Amino acid sequence: MKSIDLASLLCSRLCHDLMSPVGALNNGIELLADEQDPDMRDRCMELLSDSARVTASKLKFFRLAFGAAGGFGDQVASSEAKNALEGLLGADGKIALGWMVESEMLSKGATKLLLNLALIAGDALVRGGRLDIGAESGNGTEIAIRAEGPRIALDSGIRDTLLNGAEENVEARTAGAWLAYSLAKEAGGSVQLSQPSPEVLVIGAALPEG
């Protein structure tokens, strides 16, 4: 797949995810312009504040997961990845995050791979649950992500792309999986998935070179 094609698909994914909070911002501004009741104006301001926070959090996450964030070095602070993921999951408590990353720094490739796999696992928790993230660095990097909840729904196209690449079938919904597959493959590693289960999903990745 050409880089420009992947970039276009990732942009489509980003725009899809931003449509809701940006639309809420627009609705809040329109309501605020016409509303005279003080209590309702306060409610509109709360809506605007929440939507702005969600938009900023999503942009921060996607910049680190898809873009060139993290400075000019080859390493990214793991705390930056954690903050980005916490912002994406939000404070509504739908998904509880467990963070078990020992290394203070991760390679940029490992960071992008971790975040994209975490995004996939988080999306699979359609009714909420718990998302545990683990990573160890030594002679390479090993990543383990476990999602558990009342219902796990992992798209078969995403599963196939993570395991096999399936380049000919990549679209916006599977672009993150293709990026994860490519990052692992380019580093001489691979991605592993647990067998389909209604309540638990485990994703692992090993990067021998980083």
For 72, the domain range is 3-207
Number of domains in the chain: 1
- Cα(41)–Cα(119) distance, integer angstroms: 35
The CATH number of whichever domain residue 98 belongs to comes to 3.30.565.10
- Cα(40)–Cα(57) distance, integer angstroms: 26
Dihedral-angle region of residue 185 (phi above 0 means left; psi in -120 to 50 means alpha; beta otherwise)? alpha
- Return the structure tokens found at 3: 């880089």
Please give the chain's pLDDT, 210 residues, in tens: 666 677 788 888 888 888 888 888 888 888 888 888 888 888 888 889 988 998 999 999 999 998 865 555 688 999 999 999 999 997 677 999 999 998 899 999 999 999 999 999 999 999 999 999 999 988 889 999 999 999 999 999 999 999 998 777 788 889 999 999 999 999 999 999 999 899 999 999 999 864
